[in-house]
Amino acid sequence: MTRIAIISASVRLKRNSHRVTLYLKRFIEEKQLATVEILDLDTYNFPVFKERLRLQSSPAVEVLEIAEKIKSADVVIIVTPEYNGGYPASLKNVIDLLYDEWKRKPIAFATVSAGSFGGMNVITSLQYLFWKMQAWTVPALYPVPEISKTFTEQGEPTDKTSTVKRTTRFIDELMWCIEAKRRMSEN
């Protein structure tokens, strides 16, 4: 079975972007496309970065755990808010911890904002960052505008029809990338 990890990047008090994480997990599982594990940075609560995992002499169990989960995932979806035109420090904190784990990993982005642009400003910086990490970024966008209006706290979309339509497009692209990588790895 395909394995998908979703990094929920926001650690903000009363965060809203986690609603999208809950929705995507349910959406994928209901269609039985993959198993989904949420890697919630708020739960992990990593200290501020001091050194990469491979150079740490006694890494924390949680760091080893997230490294293993990312390594074994077929694709990683990152659900991130936009803060002042960029991604949150909590996300960079964990990206820098790891290195080999990101290599050739398909990564898809879901960006979230309170305003009407759906966190789109984050896309270019994330693309560059993951290009540096030699990951493969999935060429599909999933911007979520006006988060507190578009999803409930439980991760239910308020406009189900249009949300299902665009989520299907996003997930289809992601599944195509997983299959493409699988076929290339066979040769």
What number of H helices and E strands is found in the chain? 7, 5
Which residues are paired to 6 by β-bridges?
38, 77
Distance CA 177, CA 181 (A): 6
Under the criterion CB under 6 A, does residue 115 sit at the interface with ligand FMN? yes
- Which three-class secondary structure state does DSSP give residue 111? strand
77 lies in the binding site for ligand FMN (CB under 6 A):
no
SS3 content of the chain, % helix, strand, coil (to 5): 45, 20, 35
Stretch that binds ligand FMN, among 7-15, 44-52, 69-77, 166-174 (CB under 6 A): 7-15
Report if residue 150 touches ligand FMN, rule: CB under 6 A: no
Q: Does 17 bind ligand FMN (CB under 6 A)?
A: yes
Q: Beta-carbon neighbour count of residue 49 at 10 Å?
A: 13
Nearest residue to ligand FMN, using CB?
81
Closer Cβ to ligand FMN, 33 or 114, answer by number: 114
**Residue 146 or 173 with smaller CB distance to ligand FMN:** 146
By the rule CB under 6 A, 147 interacts with ligand FMN: yes
Q: Does 83 participate in binding ligand FMN (rule CB under 6 A)?
A: yes
What span, in angstroms and rounded, lies between the C-alpha atoms of 63 and 56?
Answer: 10
Q: Is 12 in the site for ligand FMN (CB under 6 A)?
A: yes
- Residue in 6, 7, 16, 66 binding ligand FMN, rule: CB under 6 A: 16
Dist CA 129 CA 157 (whole Å): 30
Q: Pick the piece of the chain touching ligand FMN (CB under 6 A) from 13-21, 51-59, 61-69, 179-187.
A: 13-21
112 closest CA partner among 4, 2, 5, 6: 6
85 binds ligand FMN per the rule CB under 6 A: yes
Contact positions vs ligand FMN (CB under 6 A)? 10, 12, 15-17, 81-85, 112-115, 117, 147
